[in-house]
Chains A and B, each alone.
Chain A
Amino acid sequence: MSNEWQPRIVAFFCNWCTYTAADLAGVSRLKYASNTRVIRLMCSGRVDPQFILDALAKGADAVLIGGCHPFDCHYAEGNYKCLRRFQLLKRMLADMGIEPERLRLEWISAAEGEKVKRVINEMTAAVRALGPLGIPQKFAEWDKEMEQFTAHVQAAEALKAPCAEHAPTQEPAHV
């Protein structure tokens, strides 16, 4: 198992239902894949879409959100707010070429330790099949490309304008 590539999944679990369910999975000694890193929030309504984008940008291969079932939100309707943001973000991620399997929202009640196990295992398998997302590496590649491009432009500028007046200043003004 350890020889296989291990995806990294960041999970945002609400304090009342899903985090408690994950505790229940622990107390019941259920066994599931170790790829998920849970961040506890009070409510799935607190999940800012930026958290998801930030997690993906910093190297997560997928993001899981867990909240209370409809009608069961500890804060009445935070899970609905989460669902709305999730739907919008899902489209946006698709437009950016990120597979829909990499973002998942699940309603898991405090009694459903079994479901925590199932969802995490399913998601780990699905993301493993997709392979790494590797956004940080892509950022690094893009930075390298940009540097090469800048160097290229500078070299061309230097050739085109040998006159000292047109040469780029040594120190950028904004530093």
Chain B
Amino acid sequence: MDKPTNQNIRIGFYVCHCGSNIAAMVDCPAVAKYVETLPHVVLSRDYKYMCSDPGQELIQKDIAEHKLTRVVVASCSPLLHEHTFRGAVEAGGLNPFFFHMVNIREHDSWVHTDKAEATTKAKELAHAAIMRVAMHKALEVKRVPVHPDALVIGGGIAGIHAAMTLANAGKKVFLVEREPSIGGHMAKFDKTFPTLDCAACILTPKMSEAGSHPNITLLSYSEVTKLDGYVGNYTVTVKRKPRYIIEDKCTGCQECVANCVYKEAKFPDEFNEGLGKRKPVYIPFPQATPQVVVIDPKTCLNFRNGELTGKCKKSCVTACGEKQAIDFNQKETFLELKVGTVIVTTGFKAFDAKRMPQYGYGKFPNVFTALEIERLVNSSGPTGGHVVLRDGKTEPKSIGIIHCVGSRDKKTNRWCSRVCCMYSLKLAHLLKEHTGAEIYNFYIDMRTPGKGYEEFYDKLLEEGVHFIRGRVGEVTDWAMSKEEMEKGKLVIRVEDTLAGYVRRIPFDMVVLATGLEPQEDAQSIRRMLNMSCGTEGFFLERHPKLAPVSTFTEGIFLAGCCQGPRDIPDSVAQAGAAAEALVLIDKGYIEQEPNTAYILDDECCGCKSCIPLCPYTAITFDAAKKKAVINEALCKGCGTCVAGCPSGSIVQNLFDDEEIFSEIEGVLAHE
């Protein structure tokens, strides 16, 4: 590796106006003029949009005409356009790593208010880049082969769609779902807005298709517990929870359920939000995929505190007969999978309405969450679609729907959950249809952006549903007046901001439109997959606009509500996009930054202090030569060993000592 000599360093510098994004706060011509005076700079220009085609062509033309050997562009964040300019430099015939980028937009023009100061900062950052780029070496991009199989974590609508897309393209997919059945939240919904399609009618065919697809291995009642390996070649450990049923042998006939020693279903049913009852052996819902029952050891008489007691007469086993699908001795097992790409579709958690005690959920029986109502209006729900109060018989005559519960609220979650206005409208329509009750919606703002959404709102207005603009203060069972109308009812107290006074309105039933939150274990998934989270705790995409389904780790993609609240069409669209994984699989390799470290053999004294520093055990000791050796395939380029080497004999490509020291000198050079 030749140290570049002065004669062959000819730097071209470009400062981008980014329209007025940069030029409004940084004097771009002044920066260009300053840089022109610096050593090795043969050309310095300012230009309106460097990332545009003409901007990139300008670089290529200048490389040819002015025999440039290095290029520096001062514009936006390198996380956004470094690859663009590296491409331009390469197209101009130079090694793409003879390029450096200066961030004078996100780190300068957008965050400062004094033009002189911002310009000085831009000059100093540019000076550093000029000094640094002179030290750059030619490097080659590493290509890592990608394992052709894919993993989808989470079997809601996004996960199912992503898995189906990959599988239909002929790729092998592992679909991991932690519940006994795939389907996610959508399986619980009755109808979907704004078309009022039956959710089950559109989802369940897709579920069974995914369940029987030859290219999809469905791992239900399972969780991903570990992800090892490196980009494009992961080893995934999946925990298979014991369902005490041998999946291959169960036909879903449910004879065991009918013959359970519990004649009556008496345990709260998770799928129906606890509104219905199930037996210890059950199938979560009629269209569950896979069609395999599950035994709950917490309620089954054959178990006590998770230990097998054998005290039940096991009528289920007898009922199962020759199929012999029931196995009480099943234990947790761990499965290892090899995959190249991962699509994360872990979905959301509904806001816990108990966190807003003023609305009385859990205190007043007739305060319901929206998900509970979804089950109540569903004809295969716990009441067969008959909307009744918690007592199981009374039909409500008046219903109040409170919007933004756990959304747009500084005390709980600040974000808008995007779907609540629309699903509240849908529930208002369905409740009206089922009960003929008077229905009131209490909203802060109606948010109905989407195809046919505003029209749906108009339709509801025509249907005679009432809308009151104001955040509800409280739900109370205290009747203020002696009037009969408040007695025994739930009273919503709200400031009607359009009418301009505080109202008390009595209801039989109150529905809380709970918002969407990140899953409880989102943080541990994030750590496992080395992703980032936004402030709210939803997974962070690589770029909100240009790379909305990619993450910062190549080969790991996001779709659905784990990235932020969204409705079904958006989740499905995004899941289709997450099948971008296909591109990687078909290309067969991932390109990686060549920022790995290597040892200077002549200088290494064999002290071994670098070896324990490496988190990837990429460094080993060559006992014969008495030198450390770095395995380039395992090195991920963090540079920790470089900083720790006492003799300075480890070099990190792209971030070597002389590059960084010249950058330090550069940022401080300007007086």
**Which residue on chain B has the smallest CB distance to residue A68?**
B532
Whether B595 pairs with A42 at a CB distance below 8 angstroms is yes
Residues in chain A near residue B270, CB distance under 8 A:
none
CA of A38 to CA of B105, assembled, Å: 13
Kindly provide the distance from the CB of A3 to the nearest chain B CB, expressed in whole angstroms: 12
Decide if B527 is an interface residue (CB 8 Å cutoff).
Answer: yes
For residue A164, CB closer than 8 A to chain B, the reply is no
Known: A37-B128, A51-B661, A55-B664. A26 touches B105 (CB 8 A): yes
Main secondary structure of the interface of B (DSSP, over half): helix
Name the residue in A37, A38, A48 with the highest tally of chain B Cβ atoms < 10 Å from its Cβ. A37
Residues on B with C-beta less than 8 A from A19 are: 79
A54-B661, A110-B532 are known contacts; what are 20 more A-B pairs with Cβ within 8 Å?
A2-B114, A2-B116, A20-B532, A26-B107, A26-B110, A27-B106, A34-B112, A34-B117, A42-B639, A43-B640, A45-B613, A46-B638, A46-B643, A46-B652, A48-B642, A54-B664, A55-B668, A72-B527, A75-B636, A78-B638
Binds A, one of B321-329, B391-399, B446-454, B533-541: B533-541
Quick one: given A54-B661, A72-B527, are A34 and B118 in contact (CB under 8 Å)? yes
Q: How far is the CA of A1 from the CA of B125 in the complex (A)?
A: 21
Closest 4 A-B residue pairs measured CB to CB? A26-B106, A46-B639, A45-B640, A75-B638
Query: B117–A23 contact, CB under 8 A?
Result: no
When the two chains form their complex, are residues B535 and A34 in contact, meaning their CB atoms are under 8 A apart? no
Residues of B near A132 (CB, < 8 A) are none
Contact check, A81 vs B613: say whether CB atoms are below 8 A apart.
Answer: yes
A→B interface (CB under 8 Å)? 1-2, 6, 8, 10, 15-17, 19-20, 22-23, 25-27, 29-32, 34, 37-43, 45-51, 54-55, 58-60, 71-72, 74-78, 81, 85, 109-112, 117
- Is the CB of B517 closer than 8 A to any CB of chain A? no
Give chain B interface residues in 83-112, CB to chain A under 8 Å: 103, 105-108, 110-112
Tell yes or no: B362 within 8 A of A by CB: no
Rounded to whole Å, the gap between the CB of B131 and the closest CB of chain A is: 12
- Is B615 a contact of A10 with CB atoms below 8 Å? no
Contact A37 B105 (CB under 8 A): no
* Residues of A with C-beta under 8 A to B534: 110-111
B665: CB under 8 A from chain A? yes
The count of chain B contact residues (Cβ–Cβ below 8 Å) is 51
- Chain B, 619-669, CB within 8 A of any chain A CB: 636-640, 642-644, 652, 655, 657, 660-661, 663-665, 667-668
CB pairs A–B below 8 angstroms (8 shown): A2-B116, A17-B532, A26-B106, A30-B111, A32-B112, A34-B114, A41-B639, A72-B527
Q: Which of B639, B644, B668 contacts A8 (CB 8 A)?
A: B668
> Which listed residue (B77, B110, B117, B643) contacts A47, Cβ 8 A?
B643
- Which B residues are closer than 8 A to A by beta carbons? 77-79, 103, 105-108, 110-114, 116-118, 120-121, 124-125, 128, 527, 530, 532-535, 540, 552, 595, 613, 615-616, 636-640, 642-644, 652, 655, 657, 660-661, 663-665, 667-668
B110: shortest Cβ distance to chain A, in Å? 4
Q: Report yes or no: B664 in contact with A23, Cβ–Cβ below 8 A.
A: no
- A41 and B117 within 8 A (CB): no
Q: Is A39 touching B615 in the complex (CB atoms < 8 A)?
A: no
In the bound complex, CA of A85 to CA of B640 (Å): 11
Residues of chain B contacted by A17 (CB below 8 angstroms): 532
User: In the complex the two chains form, is A16's CB within 8 Å of B106's CB?
Assistant: no
**How far is A110 from B539 in the complex, measured between Cα atoms in Å?**
11
Q: Given that A10-B664, A51-B660, A72-B527 are contacting pairs, would A29 and B643 also be in contact in the complex, using a CB cutoff of 8 Å?
A: no
Closest chain B CB from A30 CB (angstroms): 6
Q: Is the CB of B640 within 8 A of A75?
A: yes
Please determine whether A45 and B107 come into contact, CB atoms closer than 8 angstroms.
no
Say yes or no: A25 contacts B661, CB within 8 Å: no
Interface contact A110-B540, CB-CB below 8 Å: yes
In the bound complex, residues from chain A placing their C-beta under 8 Å from that of B613 are: 45, 81
Say whether B668 contacts A58, CB under 8 Å: yes
Nearest CB of chain A from residue B23's CB, rounded to whole Å: 16
Nearest residue in A to B654 (C-beta to C-beta)?
A: A42
Residues of B within 8 A of A38 (CB): 103, 107, 125
Q: A111 and B638: CB pair below 8 A?
A: no
Whether B660 pairs with A41 at a CB distance below 8 angstroms is: yes
Q: Whole-angstrom distance from the CB of B410 to the nearest CB of chain A?
A: 15
Q: A10-B667, A37-B121, A46-B638 are in contact. Are A78 and B655 (CB under 8 A)?
A: no
Residue in B79, B105, B120 whose CB lies within 8 Å of A20: B79
Q: Could you tell me if A23 and B615 are in contact, using CB atoms closer than 8 angstroms? A: no
A75 to B597, CA, bound (A): 14
| B660 lies within 8 A of A75 (CB) | no
**Complex Cα spacing A86 to B105, Å:** 30
Closest to B533 in A: A111
Judging by beta carbons under 8 Å apart, are A40 and B668 in contact? no
Whether A34 pairs with B121 at a CB distance below 8 angstroms is yes
Chain A residues positioned under 8 Å from B113 (CB to CB): 31
Query: How far does the alpha carbon of A1 sit from the alpha carbon of B665 in the complex, in Å?
Result: 26
Q: Closest B residue to A8 by CB, please name it.
A: B668
Smallest Cβ-Cβ distance to A32: which chain B residue: B111
Chain A residue with the shortest CB-CB distance to B116: A2
Compute how far the CA of A2 lies from the CA of B108 in the bound complex, rounded to whole angstroms: 16
Instruction: List, in ascending order, chain B residues with CB within 8 A of A26's CB.
Output: 77, 105-107, 110-111
In the complex, A45→B540 CA distance in Å? 23
Residues of A within 8 A of B643 (CB): 45-49, 81, 85
Q: Is the CB of A43 within 8 A of B638?
A: yes
A85 to B652, CA, bound (A): 19
With both chains docked as a complex, state the minimum distance between the C-beta of B662 and any C-beta of chain A, in angstroms.
10
* Residues in B whose Cβ lies below 8 Å from that of A75: 615, 636, 638, 640
Closest Cβ of chain B to A8, distance in Å, is 6
A22 to B108, CA, bound (A): 10
Question: Given that A37-B124, A75-B636 are contacting pairs, would A25 and B106 also be in contact in the complex, using a CB cutoff of 8 Å?
Answer: yes
A39-B664 contact in complex given A26-B111, A78-B638, C-beta closer than 8 Å: yes
CB pair B532 A46 closer than 8 Å:
no
In the bound complex, CA of A76 to CA of B614 (Å) = 10
Enumerate chain A residues within 8 angstroms of B644, measured Cβ to Cβ. Answer: 81, 85
Q: In the complex the two chains form, what is the Cα distance from A46 to B118 in whole Å?
A: 28
* Distance from B523 Cβ to chain A, minimum over Cβ atoms (Å): 9
Chain B nearest CB from A83 CB (Å) reads 12
A45-B667 in contact (CB<8A): no
Docked pose: A59 CA to B671 CA in angstroms: 10
